[in-house]
Amino acid sequence: MVSVSLQDDNIRVKVPKGKTLRQVAATTGASMEFGCRVGDCITCVARVKSGMIYLSEKNEKELKALEILGGNVSQLRLMCQCYVRCEEGEIVISYAV
Amino acid sequence: MVDLITKITKSVDFIGAFDPKIRTFDIIMKTANGSSYNSYVVRGSEGVAIMDTVKKEFSEDFFKRLEFMCDYEEIKYIVLHHLEPDHSGALIELMQKAPKAKLIISGRAVMMLKGLIKSDIEFEVANTGRIISLGDKTIEFLSTPFLHWPDTMSSYLHEEKVLFSGDVFGSHYYDERLFDDEVGDFSYAFKYYYDHIMRPFKQYVLQALKLYDTFDIKVIAPLHGPILRTNPQFYIDKYAQWSSEAKFRKHEFGKKMLSVFYMSSYDNTHLMAKKIMDGADSVEGVVASMYDLASLDEQNMIDLLEESDAIIIGSPTINGDAVKPAWDLLSCMAFLESNGKIGASFGSYGWTGEAPEMLHDRMRWLKFRLPVRPLKIKLIPTEDEQQSCFEFGVEIAEITMGKMVEMEMEI
Ligand SMILES: Cc1cc2nc3c(=O)[nH]c(=O)nc-3n(C[C@H](O)[C@H](O)[C@H](O)COP(=O)(O)O)c2cc1C
Ligand code: FES
Ligand SMILES: [Fe+2]
Ligand SMILES: [Fe+2]
């Protein structure tokens, strides 16, 4: 499983391949914010401080959101859209963007 | 006939509208003195920018003032600092009248725009640092999200040191004399506006103030009420103070506050509350307290919730629900910021026992962090069950103190 650290909440959770970060938030009770939950509102944008390669490729909605946000967005992802795509690895996430 | 000229600075004019009769704003606020929807025109050597519009019903006043100040041809930009209808109400009409103007909104406003204006219109997104030019005038944008809508931004007119702050620093206070040094005493309205609109977003207020601090501000031009020109720092300091004050001295000693709220008819939930509090209080660095919801009034609830780092709510299950005071307590969160607060729920029950789960779900929607499952005990807690209440308290208190929570998700 992939170890996901939610820095702002002091949570470290082992996550099986295929789970979205939204499912991770729901299971752990993390304080991450969500709005629409379908990739339209950008509320759930968070910073992946390390381990981006263990997450799914950015989908169309994410690419569009990042384009709207502009600037340096290389570490940003929508937590309601991306999911863990590997069996092993380590991901560190911070909600501050 | 409206009074047509109101000069704010050399190249900024007021083109907003007055609403002296309004008594309730946004359903939630009382506005004894009415209000105003402030809008401004900024003139540069190569065109003008319109900063926000007004509520739809007041479009006529707005356009009259606007037409007195400029031709529609001259409008290069229309800036909306957030999309709430009290400031975007005249947008569509304005864009029809000034088809060459470019609409500027924040990134977070993009999806909202579609919800608000059910047609496609062109716009540009401004993030922090984006600058637009009107020839000899430059306007710089600052992202100040969640104050009080997610898409809020502010802007700064460099040459005349004017901060367009959006609803931040606003007051619902109608007075056509317009400037803070000329209007009546609006201090209560300034504070009331902060308490009802900005208080839930204190952390974002502090972030915004940090950004504002990098600019030399001579005039604050908010979207409601008086324009602040005598000593802008005075108002900035007020916001800083209100947003950082902890009423309780415990925080000053570096302690974390954990509050157990409960209600109990036959003392079973009360006994659980007591054990949970004892457990929590045994953890170094935590001060735990308990409160009977039966005798707390709303203002006390709001203050206690605000001061607490962790909030644990206990309710028996009565007719398949948690008791009303528990829901009333959670309703108070609308006035506060819950992000990052730790929450948990518990209760004694007879046969179905859904109250703790329901409170837990509600707290999830209110964006509490909920690290432990609700604790339910059937009727009278046994010795063992009392011990598990104690441990429940210990666990939540340790997490409040920053203990790393290790978990594993099921496949
Ligand atoms: C003070 C205030 C706070 C609001 N807070 C939220 C919110 O937290 N979440 C949300 O989705 N919409 C929020 N809104 C937006 C309203 O839900 C939205 O404007 C809605 O269309 C109002 O419906 P109504 O016309 O029936 O009153 C808020 C609006 C106001 C005025
Ligand atoms: S919650 Fe709206 S984009 Fe993720
Ligand atoms: Fe507003
Ligand atoms: Fe407003």
pLDDT score for B247: 56
User: Mutating which of B105, B339, B405 best tests the A interface, going by the most A Cβ atoms within 10 A?
Assistant: B405
Tokens for B135?
């020839």
- The class of domain B248-400 in CATH terms is alpha beta
Asked if B367 lies within 8 A of A16 by C-beta distance, the reply is: no
Distance from CA of A47 to the nearest CA of B (A): 17
* Cβ-Cβ contacts under 8 Å for A76 (sequence gap 6 or more): A45, A46, A47, A48, A66, A69, A97
User: Mutating which of A41, A78, A90 best tests the B interface, going by the most B Cβ atoms within 10 A?
Assistant: A41
Residue closest via CA to ligand 2's atom 1 equals A37
Contact B325, B295 (CB under 8 A): no
Helix, strand, coil: what percent of chain B each, to 5?
A: 35, 25, 40
* DSSP three-state, residue B239: helix
A97 touches chain B (CB under 8 A): no
A86 touches chain B (CB under 8 A): no
* DSSP three-state, residue B46: coil
pLDDT score for B68: 93
Q: Which residue of B has its CA nearest to A40?
A: B111
Nearest to B107 among A13, A36, A42 (CB): A42
Residue intervals in chain B for CATH 3.40.50.360: 248-400
The alpha carbon of B149 and the centre of ligand 2 are apart by a number of angstroms equal to: 16
DSSP B198: I
Identify each DSSP E strand in B98-177 by its residue range: 102-105, 124-125, 131-133, 138-143, 153-157, 162-166
For the entire predicted model, the pTM comes to: 0.75
Q: What confidence tens digit (pLDDT) does each residue in A42-64 have?
A: 889 999 999 999 999 999 999 99
Q: Which residue of A has its CA nearest to B145?
A: A43
For chain A, positions 4-63, list CB contacts with chain B under 8 A.
8-16, 19, 23-24, 26-31, 33, 35-36, 40-43
Asked if B409 lies within 8 A of A13 by C-beta distance, the reply is: yes
Asked if B369 lies within 8 A of A31 by C-beta distance, the reply is: yes
Residue closest via CA to ligand 1's atom 1 equals B26
Chain center to CA of B185: 24
Q: Domains of chain A: which residue ranges?
A: 2-94
The alpha carbon of B167 and the centre of ligand 3 are apart by a number of angstroms equal to: 6
pLDDT score for B248: 58
DSSP B1: -
Nearest to B150 among A15, A43, A70 (CB): A43
Distance from CA of B127 to the nearest CA of A (A): 7
Say if domain A2-94 classifies as CATH 3.10.20.30.
yes
Q: Which CATH architecture has domain B2-244?
A: 4-Layer Sandwich (3.60)
Which ranges of B36-164 would DSSP assign to H, the alpha helix?
A: 59-69, 85-88, 91-97, 110-116
The alpha carbon of B87 and the centre of ligand 4 are apart by a number of angstroms equal to: 6
Nearest to A29 among B107, B129, B371 (CB): B371
Residue closest via CA to ligand 1's atom 12 equals B149
Our answer on whether the CB atom of B111 is closer than 6 Å to any ligand 1 atom is no
Measured between beta carbons, the chain A residues lying within 8 angstroms of B369 are 9, 29-31
Asked if A31 lies within 8 A of B340 by C-beta distance, the reply is: yes
Residues near ligand 2 with C-beta < 6 Å?
Answer: A 34-37, 39-44, 78, 80
The alpha carbon of A69 and the centre of ligand 2 are apart by a number of angstroms equal to: 13
Helix, strand, coil: what percent of chain A each, to 5?
A: 25, 30, 45
Distance from CA of A16 to the nearest CA of B (A): 6
Task: Give one DSSP letter per residue of B280-319, joined into a string.
Answer: HHTSTTEEEEEEEGGG--HHHHHHHHHH-SEEEEE---BT
pLDDT in tens for each of the 411 residues of chain B? 455 558 999 999 999 999 999 999 888 888 999 999 999 999 999 999 999 999 999 999 999 999 999 999 999 999 999 999 999 999 999 999 999 999 999 988 887 887 787 777 889 999 888 999 999 999 999 999 889 998 999 999 999 999 999 999 999 999 999 999 999 999 999 999 999 999 988 888 998 999 999 999 999 999 999 999 999 999 999 999 999 876 555 666 778 999 999 999 999 999 999 999 999 999 999 999 999 999 888 888 898 999 899 999 999 999 999 999 999 999 999 888 777 799 999 999 999 999 999 999 999 889 898 989 999 999 999 999 999 999 999 999 999 998 988 888 888
Q: Which residue of A has its CA nearest to B410?
A: A16
* ipTM, two decimals: 0.78
